Amino acid sequence: MSDPETKHRLPLVQISVEPERDEEYRGPNYELHSREVRFPTAVQHENTLLRTSLLRYMQESRFFVGLTAPLIYSCIIPFVLIDVFITVYQLFSFPLYGIPKVRRSDYVVFDRGKLCYLNLLERINCAYCSYGNGVMAYVVEIAARTEQHWCPIRHAHRIEHPHDRYSHFIPYGDAKAYRAEIEEVRVDFGDLKSGE
């Protein structure tokens, strides 16, 4: 598989969501020092003035938003369960298969609580969404690495939003490539950043 002609890579467009590595992503109103967010005093003051009071926020919310909130927040139970189970699975299984571990902190990020223009309920909502979407992205990455090890074959039809390991997979129906390349594809994680 080292010959470029035999590689079956799909081009994937990726957007980095790590501001310290992607200058275009970062806005002009804050600085990052390691993972700590710092706002200039003037920006912080201006943002504080734009905060909506909790009472006003609740009064302006639509009736059905409040009605569905318990249903939305009840999803925390499956999120936590899958978070725990997938973390334990990865912890014990990935070293056995030689698969690099996924750093949970790259996916589950709680930085919106530092935004002083959000009231308490908005911060809770943001934390909840950060957790839910972060856990799902974390699970997708663990599942993708698992799939690369056990069944790195593309689907016959184009799929919407394939995971980032999909470009490493062998074309559907190419038995010769599968038999010739399967062992190398299973361990082809060299593109991942070190330390994972």
> Three-state SS for 37?
strand
Instruction: Give Cα 134 distance to the centre of its chain.
Output: 5
**CA gap 148, 164 in Å, rounded:** 10
Query: How many other CB atoms are found less than 10 A from the CB of residue 102?
Result: 23
For range 11-39, the mean pLDDT = 58
Buried b (16+ CB within 10 A) or exposed e, 166-183: bebbbeeeeeebbeebee
The DSSP secondary structure of 41-69, one letter per residue, reads HHHHHHHHHTPPPHHHHHHHS-HHHHHHH
Instruction: Give Cα 141 distance to the centre of its chain.
Output: 8
Q: Is the pLDDT of residue 116 over 50?
A: yes
For range 5-34, the mean pLDDT = 54
For range 17-44, the mean pLDDT = 64
Q: Is the pLDDT of residue 10 over 50?
A: no
pLDDT: is 20 or 80 the higher one?
80
Mean pLDDT of all residues belonging to the chain = 82
Phi, psi of 31, rounded to the nearest 5 degrees: -125, 150
Instruction: Select from 22, 98, 141, 186 the least CA-distant residue to 133.
Output: 141
For range 107-114, the mean pLDDT = 87
Report whether 87 contacts 94 (CB < 8 A).
no
**CA gap 62, 23 in Å, rounded:** 37
- pTM, rounded to two decimals: 0.77
